[in-house]
């Protein structure tokens, strides 16, 4: 009964965040979020049943001065032989004079729904750091309220939550990745309204075999941002048993991206993505964006826990299965 009460409470919290006017800020745009799910959903902590370390960078509109750049690092792992997991990480994003940094720590608890299905519940605590240096800009009108004051090293606490359901062939999750607990002192109402838009992420997909050593993953990520245009990423990824991965991401009317990945060893791999805009009327977006990820998956660093593994339908022998087949 206690576990059911926790599930009900978390679902209620998620629904409140979706339908009420709470505050937040949109997470950075990235291609193929299945590779970096912890950034978008704290419930993913520990679901790879390993010590998972992900390093990631996105360089947007390469060649354009002061174009957006993003760096992140995250780590998550199960706690001993329990169903609980921890995750933590951070990122740094800079666009022109604005630098935005975020640190977070996640806690997730795994509930077995059936022999081959799990539900993970996650919660996040974090801290945000902002620095806006207007000295980097050539201001034409000093009376413009948008540029009337800099933000020097402001901090604020934040929180997030999420739910993740997965089987060997299906995954589905909903999350509120970031909710601040205070406001930043923006110079104008317009800036405050932009910064306070809250975000809800829906991520789901299917894994299935097309050959003995080839798997396909079809995924969709829908990001709803209050008072902004919602975006949807449709993903298609082919994975070979030798560790080769390739695919496409389509963001309707916005962008398309090519994906390529390779497992160097059983525990180390990398992923590269190149994105180009579908709106050719804007010269700045013709330069494209690059993403590079280095992924570590150390299964030998944790204690074996059969309760976290999928079970075969007719025999008692467990199989180790990652939701990403990494």
Residue 289: which CATH number? 2.40.160.40
pLDDT of residue 17: 41
DSSP state of 12: H
pLDDT tens across 175-199, in order?
Answer: 999 888 877 655 445 445 445 557 8
Does pTM surpass 0.75?
yes
Is 324 a domain residue?
Answer: no
Terminal CA-CA length for the chain = 35
Structural domain includes residue 326: no
Structure-derived torsion over alpha carbons of residues 324, 213, 243, 76, reported in degrees to the nearest 10: 20
pLDDT at 314: 58
Residue 256 CA to residue 250 CA, distance in Å, equals 5
pLDDT score, position 209: 92
Q: Supply the pLDDT for residue 39.
A: 87
Number of domains the chain contains: 1
Name the DSSP class of 192: H
Helix/strand/coil for 165: strand
Q: Note the pLDDT of residue 198.
A: 76
Task: Please report whether residue 60 resides in a domain.
Answer: yes
Give the structural domain span for 306. 2-319
Which distant-in-sequence residues (6+ apart) come within 8 Å of 59 by Cβ? 67, 69, 70, 289, 290, 291
CA gap 212, 214 in Å, rounded: 6
* CA pair distance 113, 155, nearest whole angstrom: 40
Q: How far apart are the C-alpha atoms of 314 and 42, rounded to whole Å?
A: 33
Is 68 within the bounds of a domain?
Answer: yes
307, part of any domain: yes
Q: Which residues of the chain have pLDDT under 50?
A: 1-26, 187-188, 190-191, 193-194, 316-318, 325-326
């Amino acid at each position: 009964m206690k576990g059911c009460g926790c599930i009900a409470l978390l679902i209620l919290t998620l629904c409140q965040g979706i339908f009420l006017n709470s505050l937040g800020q949109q997470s950075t745009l990235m291609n193929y979020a299945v590779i970096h799910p912890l950034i978008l959903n704290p419930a993913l902590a520990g679901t790879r049943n390993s010590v998972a370390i992900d390093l990631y960078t996105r360089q947007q509109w390469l060649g354009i001065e002061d174009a957006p750049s993003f760096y992140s690092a995250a780590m998550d792992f199960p706690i001993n032989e329990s169903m609980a997991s921890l995750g933590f990480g951070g990122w740094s994003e800079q666009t022109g004079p604005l630098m935005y940094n975020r640190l977070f720590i996640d806690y997730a608890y795994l509930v077995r729904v059936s022999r081959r299905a799990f539900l993970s519940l996650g919660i996040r605590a974090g801290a945000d750091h902002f620095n806006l240096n207007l000295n980097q800009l050539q201001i034409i009108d000093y009376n413009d309220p948008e540029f009337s004051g800099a933000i020097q090293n402001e901090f604020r606490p934040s929180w997030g939550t999420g739910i993740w359901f997965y089987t060997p062939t299906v995954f589905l999750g909903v999350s509120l990745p970031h909710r601040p607990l205070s406001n930043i002192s923006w110079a104008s109402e317009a800036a405050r309204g932009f910064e306070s838009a809250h975000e809800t992420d829906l991520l789901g997909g299917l894994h299935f075999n097309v050959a003995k050593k080839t798997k396909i993953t079809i995924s969709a990520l829908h990001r709803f941002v209050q008072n902004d245009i919602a975006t949807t990423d449709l993903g298609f990824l082919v994975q070979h048993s030798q560790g080769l991965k390739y695919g496409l991401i389509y963001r309707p009317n916005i962008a398309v991206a090519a994906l390529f990945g390779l497992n160097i060893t059983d525990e180390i791999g990398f992923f590269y993505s190149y994105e180009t805009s579908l709106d050719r009327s804007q010269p700045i977006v013709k330069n494209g964006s690059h993403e590079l990820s280095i992924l570590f998956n150390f299964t030998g660093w944790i204690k074996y826990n059969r309760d976290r593994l999928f079970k075969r339908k007719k025999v008692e022998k467990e199989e180790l299965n990652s939701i990403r087949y990494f």
